[in-house]
Structure 1
Amino acid sequence: MGEEIPVTVLSGPLGAGKTTLVNHLLSNSGDRSIAVLVNDMGEINVDAELLSAGTEVAADGGVAELSNGCICCELQDDLETEVARLASEREFEYLVVEASGISEPEPVARLFTTGSRAAAAYELDTMVTVVDTARFLDAFGDAEGIERETAPGSTDRPLSDLLVEQIEFADVILLNKADLLDAAELDRAEELVRALVPRAEIHRTTHSQIDPGAVLGTGRFDPAETGSGAGWQHGLDGDDAPAHGDHDHAHPDEVYNVSSFVYRRRRPFHPERIRALLGDLPSSVVRSKGLLWIAGRDESALLMSQAGAHATVEVLGPWLASLPEIEREMYRSNRPDVEWDDEHGDRRTELVFIGQEIDDSLIGRLDDCLVTDEEWGEGVETGVFPSADEEALSVETR
């Protein structure tokens, strides 16, 4: 077919407006020729049935369906086969992939950026996430709402976890159903999203109506930036952050009361006290993520990830300082950018907190969770935090 075909991937929760957006694109594409692939977790692909049946693209086989599974995991091979078939059988300028409401966007993106049949014919162009704005505010404000729900088909993964992942791995975000909210609520939602993913382009929409050019052929996908441009990542990578030491690094971006700060320490947390704090985080904290150093777990770097009312802590890997000397020095020579302390090596805590009206009392509460000199000298039991061969710790944060 010549040049690679640009791909737009649509993510977002069930009911946010993804299928409505696809219908809108098909009905308002003008001279653009579009093929569509729709994924549905059910045995019958309801979303595909809802697409504009009378459009030319549907009539000549330009709407493909993948049902009874998720294209981010068990249907990956089927997705690759189907998009390759579309490219070989039809002439079109754009491919739109509507992922299921529980799809993780990164594995879908990877299919179009690695050495696969799909990557040979296509070029990933834009990752779009459609958000039900009112439910988003319920999930990450003070209200009890979506954050207590689990993702469909999952018995344990909170919907807030998945929604944050879909937002953070987006180039373009539609704050949909904007007509159901007032201006102040929309401003608040936009600034929360902007704090979660600063590089994304944000549009307020009603019934997913948007200029097709805002989501097709934008060229916004950047393998080095999409996903890694999340707000928590920006915080950890900030140029103005201190290299090490027990210093606060606060940088509020206070617009509509949304702020963020980075907490860095070269002293481990007491496991019982930090576990208690994770179960009692302020409701104002929308998102936090980063490295944990837990006393008694000096061999393992732990990754904490919190979204809304749920947090997980899992083993990320060994601290370089815990490796045998030869192996440690080899890693350090290959990674000269690793922050190193003469006494503690690379062991440290680095956490980014993003939220609404987060006050300085949280810094004091975190400091109170650090081990004392006496505790550090006597040794501390590891408590509930996982080791390398154990499952992640799951915590309800409030």
Structure 2
Amino acid sequence: MPTSPLAPAETGASAADTRPSLTVLSGFWPAATYAVARTLLAADPSLLLIRHDLADVHRGSVHRVVRDGAGILEDERVALAHGCVSCTLREDVLPTLARLARAQPGRGLLLMLPEVVEPEAVAAACARCPVDGTPITELLRIDSYTTVVDIEHLLDGLASTDDLKSLGIQAADNDDRALADVVVRQIEYADTLVLWGESREGAYDSERLGVLLARIAPWAVQVRVDGDVVDARELTRRLRDTGRHRPETPAVLARGLEGHVLGVHEPQPDCGVVSVLFRARRPFHPDRLHDVLEDVNAEVLRSRGHLWLASQPETVIAWDFAGGGLSLGSLGQWLVAVPDDRWDDASTHRQLAATLDWDPYYGDRQQHLVFVGLDLDPARLRRMLGACLLTDAELADGEEVWRTYRDPFAGCFPPTTPDTRTKGDAPA
């Protein structure tokens, strides 16, 4: 099983930390995710498993079940003031975790998320929503964010063009997310990926999908599990008390801005999987970039990162492609466009990354994109993107002329502060 050299070493939990440990378990395929949860319960019957069913969240209630290895301890329907994932996390999930941590401090906690909930939403709630005035991290130790991937259905999920509403599984009335968006965000936020089962195409395809996951999330540890024969103790050793979670890790689209690895450059196919990292200092011409958006992602399963347009030189633009759809949005301002006395609005990591890679002319502005797919042509991809960069003659014209370019993206990225979204607000 391929394991990225970027994946963290097994650190384990500190023996001096007596807070109950929490493992957050997510995955778009509930049967596989619940199978992992049951296996962990079998190895440690004292483990407390917390699950929430969101089937009635639109009608203002959720179904909460807490159990251990001996059976069900709580089975309740909880009324919510507002029917959405954010209020579920704030009004029931976090208070339940806090109550269990206080009442039974010697027992580990396993939170199994509904299939449409992204782990980053939980991380954001833990960071911002205290329980009775107490931060949740004072009551428990978040050990790992683990995502379970059903190998048999992975490619279907990544390539799907369906949205949650069309499938009837949206998390709120205004939830416009695509299925593929949820799948990639669950994979990318995880520090640990459990590869459950085998591909129906055989061992080679299972290996290929492992490589694909290593390219999409090179920072995650992979744990392979045969769905037919599972060693519960070994799986527990690999998944619990690992100390892998790093709360300072930024949202995936802002990783490059914060000095973290955004992706790996592996242009030579490995089991057919190619990963292309595109970096450049020059800005994109807005019209030329707009003309190639469809072609540049034609063979891509996932692409992400940030860029800058000549016509909007102050704005960091997020690039987010999955499931056949590309989203562009604002990540705030480049620090080169911000007065020195406002640099403190950005995170320390952001300031450090910008300083270390500062260019006398461009400042911290640069293109930083990664493309992952099967049988990609890296040379063609780089040629297309390279042709969108400003030429020497265009560069010489300067910013005042750049701002006059025809811009199909005009008005799409309202001005924001430097650190907006760099900490990662997960959609709820």
Does TM-score exceed 0.5, indicating one fold? Answer: yes
User: What is residue 139 of structure 2 aligned with on the other side?
Assistant: 121
Q: CA separation of 1:177/1:70 partners in 2, compared to 1, >3 Å: closer, same or farther?
A: farther
State whether residues 320 and 326 of structure 2, in contact with CA within 8 Å, keep that contact through their aligned partners in structure 1.
yes
Change (3 A) 1:257 1:225: farther
> 341, 349, 360: which is aligned to 2:359?
341
Structure 1 residues 64 and 314, CA gap change in structure 2 (3 angstroms): same
How far apart in 2 are the matches of 1:234 and 1:325? 18
Aligned to 1:76: 90
Off by >4 Å, runs of 4+ in structure 1: 44-49, 63-74, 110-115, 207-210, 224-239, 324-334, 373-376
Aligned to 2:204: 184
Whether the 8 Å contact between 1:195 and 1:231 is mirrored in structure 2 is no
Structure 2 counterpart of 1:146, one-letter code: S
1:102-121 equivalences in 2 (<5 Å): 102-112=116-126, 116-121=134-139
- 1:133 matched residue in structure 2: 151
1:272-327 deviation line (CA, Å, top 9, x unaligned): 22123222234432222222111211121111122241221111111222234765
Q: Does residue 213 in structure 1 map to residue 236 in structure 2?
A: yes
Q: In angstroms, what is the RMSD of aligned CA positions? A: 4.0
Q: Residue 274 and residue 139 in structure 1: after superposition, are their counterparts in 2 closer, same or farther (change >3 A)? A: farther
Matched, 1:387 2:413: yes
Alignment partners' CA distance in 1, 2:160 and 2:227? 21
Higher mean C-alpha deviation, range 76-85 or range 323-332:
323-332
Match of 2:163 in 1: 149
Indicate conservation of the 8 Å contact 2:257/2:353, yes or no.
Answer: no
Counterpart selection for 1:7 from 22, 36, 40? 22
1:74-122, CA deviations, whole angstroms, 9 ceiling, x for partnerless residues? 4323222111222344465211111111112023135556764532221
Residue 373 of structure 1: CA displacement? 4.6
Q: Which amino acid aligns with 2:213?
A: V
How far apart, CA to CA, are the structure 2 residues paired with 1:80 and 1:165?
A: 21
- Within the alignment, does 1:85 sit opposite 2:99 as a pair? yes
Aligned to 2:14: none
Normalising by structure 1, what TM-score?
Answer: 0.78
What's the % identity of the aligned pairs?
A: 26
Q: Please identify, of 73-82 and 125-134, the stretch whose mean Cα deviation from structure 2 is larger.
A: 73-82
Counterparts in 2 of 1:41 and 1:4: CA distance versus 1, 3 Å: same
Superposed displacement of residue 251, structure 1: 4.4
Contact 1:262 1:353 in 2 (8 A): yes
What is aligned with 1:318?
Answer: 333
After TM superposition, the structure 1 = structure 2 runs for residues 1-398 of structure 1, keeping only pairs within 5 Å, are 3-26=18-41, 28-30=42-44, 32-43=45-56, 56-58=70-72, 60-61=73-74, 74-90=88-104, 93-112=107-126, 116-140=134-158, 145-150=159-164, 152-153=169-170, 156-178=176-198, 180-198=200-218, 199-206=220-227, 209=230, 211=232, 212-214=235-237, 216-223=239-246, 237=260, 251-252=266-267, 254-324=269-339, 335=351, 337-338=353-354, 339-359=357-377, 360-373=379-392, 375=394, 377=397, 378-379=401-402, 380-385=405-410, 386-388=412-414
Report the residue type matching 2:409 in the other structure: V
Q: Is the 8 A contact 1:10 1:127 kept in 2?
A: yes
Give the C-alpha shift of residue 352 in structure 1.
1.8
5+ residue gaps in structure 1?
Answer: 242-248, 393-398
The change in CA–CA distance for 1:155 and 1:217 in structure 2 (over 3 A counts) is: closer
CA distance in 2, matches of 1:232, 1:108: 19
Whole-Å separation in 2 of the counterparts to 1:282 and 1:120:
44
Structure 1 residue identity aligned to 2:331: L
- Compute the displacement of 1:165 (Å): 1.0
- Aligned partner of residue 296 in structure 2, secondary structure: coil
TM-score under structure 2 length normalisation: 0.73
Q: Does 217-226 or 185-194 show the bigger shift?
A: 217-226
Amino acid aligned to 1:138: D
SS at match of 1:279: helix
Change beyond 3 A, Cα 1:301–1:230: closer
